[in-house]
Amino acid sequence: MTAYAIGALLIVVATLAVLLLREKRQARAGRALRESDERFRRMIARAPVMIWTARADTTLDFLNQHCVEFTGLPIEKLRDNGWMDAAHPEDLEATIRVYVPAIEARTPFVVEYRLRRADGSYRWVLDSGVPKYGPDGGFTGYIGYVIDITERRNAEDLVRDSRDALEVSHREIQQLAGRLLTAHEDERKRLARELHDDLTQRLARLAIDAGRMEIAAAAPAGMRPLREGLVRLSEDVHAMSYRLHPSVLDDLGLVEALKAECDRVARHGELRVDVETSAVPAALAAEASLCLFRVAQEALSNAARHAGASAVTVLLAPSGKGLQLAVSDNGSGFDPDRPREHASLGLASMRERVRLLQGELDIASTPGRGTTVVAWVPA
């Protein structure tokens, strides 16, 4: 045998040896893979959650024992597309719309639906799946798990129902507050009218009669103080009528009513009040005028009685599709973020009035640097 023949023979032998070694390695790898797959299946067969695997065409090829125990159906009835028979008919279409496109796109998915249990009842479950790949990197299907989330769903439903009931109750309270405010204003207006048109007039007549008697020669010595007392009482009743409901608001409008209120506050205290109005529409809805007037009235009262202010500025002007009122004082101010010992009924009233008109109210204050109340209502 020539050297060339011997060399060729050696090459053939070496090639055969390499091929044989590769085949043995592949066989060992195949056995290892099968053994690993078998160990995996044995491990998940008794897992405490439902576990499944699917082929690349979306049909199921494996379900563990927990799936059988939960549904009461044999593996044969659950494989392929049999699991769909156990899904709630109302949830099946939506579930498939999540499941099938995810597998086709090879992306993870999570879906919730109702699954029939062995006792015939339906339970809410969470089904989650991820793609799986073979040793060569090829897509081989999906693996997923299913857990019972009925208790969680029931708790969520209870929370949602409680939240809905709370929202309904809140709306009813707001409606009641609105009706109370309206009724309160109606009653104030009625009392103001009665005080002005009836009691004030009667007191004025008594004061006139007392004045006539005082002029008469036979007038008792105490008639003058009586007349003066009646005049003061008439003025006090008139002022009370104004505070209940200023007739100027109905007769002359918001701008004149604001000026009158600012003059009244300035006259009765050591407080300088400046009023500035700009391009305020002559025709305003009565509700908007009353709302802004009451906000200004409350802000002026707080500045005079509680803040110890010496100066207040009141601005009224159009803003966007509404009207904006700003009342700023140089008083003591307060910390808006600090809990207050007693709830402010005046502040609550302002907020509720503005809310009823779908407006906005903002209060900015700093201790020692005064307070600014800004109210906006659509007009």
- pLDDT, tens digit, for every residue of 195-245? 656 666 776 777 676 667 666 655 566 666 776 676 777 667 666 766 666
pTM: 0.49
- Region 91-107 average pLDDT: 90
Shortest CA distance to 248 belongs to which of 237, 234, 264, 232?
264
- CA separation for the pair 270, 310 (Å, rounded): 7
Q: What angle do CA 358, 362, 364 make, to 5 degrees?
A: 175
Residues 300/306/312/318 CA torsion (nearest 10 deg)? -40
172, pLDDT greater than 70: no
- CA separation for the pair 146, 78 (Å, rounded): 14
- CA separation for the pair 100, 69 (Å, rounded): 25
Residue 12 pLDDT = 45
Q: Which two tokens stand for residue 91?
A: 């949830």
SS3 letters across 16-47 = HHHHHHHHHHHHHHHHHHHHHHHHHHHHHHCC
Task: Give the position of tokens 């105490």.
Answer: 222
Alpha carbon of residue 222 to chain centroid: 67
**Residue 128, Cβ density class (10 Å: 0-12 exposed, 13-18 middle, ≥19 buried):** middle
Shortest CA distance to 249 belongs to which of 235, 264, 269, 270?
264
**Partner residues linked to 115 by β-bridges:** 87, 123
Q: What is the pLDDT of residues 47-68, one digit of tens each?
A: 568 888 898 888 999 888 889 9
180, pLDDT greater than 80: no
